[in-house]
Amino acid sequence: MIIRYYQPMRMPLGEDGKLALDFVSTIRHDGAGGVTDDFAEDRDVARWVRDRWPEWAPDTSTTLPRRMRGLRRAARALFARAVRPMPPSRPDASHLMPEAEAIHVLNEAIADLSLDIAVEAGGASLLTVRSTASADAEVLIRGAVALAVVDFLAGPHVTKLRSCQAPRCVRYFVQRHGRQEWCKESCGNRARAARHRARSR
């Protein structure tokens, strides 16, 4: 699966956590009390990638689905570490990838990009520009996701990362204000109702 680019491609910055959260949230609440995996089938992984990077049209016969699941295990293990001392998201809390292995998986995906790093003027400050001449869609996809995870976990917003501990919720989220305990209003309502039931028992 080779794509030709006429010039090195810039890799986006993932500091805001959008792509990283989107990626780890492919394990999510199914709306009926259980957990669903958006990467369950190889074609599901292909669809997730195609929805985000139509130009990279992944080929499901490659190792991409398996490696994306591995990358996700690594990302979720490092998310779990980042929310400490809060508990991790529940579905994989008991079988998290060891930290050193998770970092190795991310490093491997980033190394495959053979990044060129340069500095450019960006208004009053400087910008770090990372580009790759790789033409392999699998390398680009894994690399883009791994960079997004690292940008976020090494960036300024990681201190606001939380795991939602409302009943049934399995989401990681970034707090919008300091006292936000739940990923969304409906989770807060559910959690308050559960506390109320526990108290009145």
Asked if 164 touches Zn ion (CB under 5 A), the answer is: yes
Size of residue set near Zn ion by CB under 5 A: 6
User: DSSP readout, 110-149?
Assistant: HHTT--EEEEEEETTEEEEEEEE---BHHHHHHHHHHHHH
Based on CB atoms, which residue is closest to Zn ion, 75 or 164? Answer: 164
Task: Choose one: 1-9, 71-79, 140-148, 158-166; the region binding Zn ion (CB under 5 A).
Answer: 158-166
174/189 Cα distance (integer angstroms): 19
Q: How far is CA 160 from the centre of its chain?
A: 15
20/146 Cα distance (integer angstroms): 8
Neighbouring CB atoms inside 10 A of 49's CB total 23
6/64 Cα distance (integer angstroms): 24
Contact (Cβ atoms closer than 8 angstroms) between residue 85 and residue 165: no
Asked if 75 touches Zn ion (CB under 5 A), the answer is: no
Q: Could you tell me the smallest distance in angstroms from the CB atom of residue 171 to Zn ion?
A: 5
What binding mask, one character per residue, do residues 109-148 give for Zn ion by CB under 5 A, x or -?
Answer: ----------------------------------------
* Contacting Zn ion within 18-37 (CB under 5 A): none
Task: Choose one: 83-91, 109-117, 123-131, 164-172; the region binding Zn ion (CB under 5 A).
Answer: 164-172
Asked if 169 touches Zn ion (CB under 5 A), the answer is: yes
Asked if 187 touches Zn ion (CB under 5 A), the answer is: yes
Asked if 74 touches Zn ion (CB under 5 A), the answer is: no
Q: How far is CA 122 from the centre of its chain?
A: 27
Q: Which residues bind Zn ion (CB under 5 A)?
A: 164, 166, 169, 171, 183, 187
